[in-house]
Chains A and B, each alone.
Chain A
Amino acid sequence: QQQVKQSPQSLIVQKGGISIINCAYENTAFDYFPWYQQFPGKGPALLIAIRPDVSEKKEGRFTISFNKSAKQFSLHIMDSQPGDSATYFCAASLISNFGNEKLTFGTGTRLTIIP
């Protein structure tokens, strides 16, 4: 089963704090790990992504930490702001026989940043 397990299901963080969302995967063939951000009434949008050859990637306040041996990766949002309130999905991709990217998504984390 090519699953990606995401936790927590929901998260409340105070403004200025650090938000941390965790994901674990099973298939060691996965080679691309993106995070998508979805606001209410909108489709998901790519936020940040990482390949397994690096352990960390940072873009502004958003950082992905990747632990290949543990088959885990996490999203850290530093100095969390109310505008970060959204649902976050982790995903992992596996190149199928057709050469298509086939994303396996986590179940999502609803993040709420409170003032």
Chain B
Amino acid sequence: ETGVTQTPRHLVMGMTNKKSLKCEQHLGHNAMYWYKQSAKKPLELMFVYSLEERVENNSVPSRFSPECPNSSHLFLHLHTLQPEDSALYLCASSQETGSPLHFGNGTRLTVT
């Protein structure tokens, strides 16, 4: 058990669908993150939340919409995605924004 749980593990969606990725951390951390992992590319930071407030947004397209209702839960709402958005989406948490990251096992997203 990693302490950071992501659901679903796999998701296939069409370009016109709307879906959401869920992340839950059981570590009592104050910061949560969304990363995108594509083959042969560095992990890309998408969003950072600290105490439920968004503090970092790395020029991510508006078709990705994060939501952090409390310090334990993080969502990534998806709509009108493109095939190039297919990737592994990783959630992470840390005690503070300067502390080591704890990653979940990711959601493998395929956009058809």
Question: Which residues of chain A have a CB within 8 Å of any CB of chain B?
Answer: 4, 9, 34, 41-46, 49, 89, 95-96, 98-108
Contact = CB atoms under 8 A, between A and B. Distances in A.
B32 to A, nearest CB: 12
Contacts of B41: 107
Chain B, interface size category, equals: 20 to 34
Given A4-B42, A41-B105, 16 more contacts: A34-B100, A42-B105, A43-B2, A43-B103, A49-B100, A98-B55, A98-B56, A100-B31, A100-B48, A100-B98, A101-B94, A102-B45, A102-B56, A105-B42, A107-B40, A108-B40
B22 to A, nearest CB: 15
B50 interface: yes
A106 B43 CA distance: 8
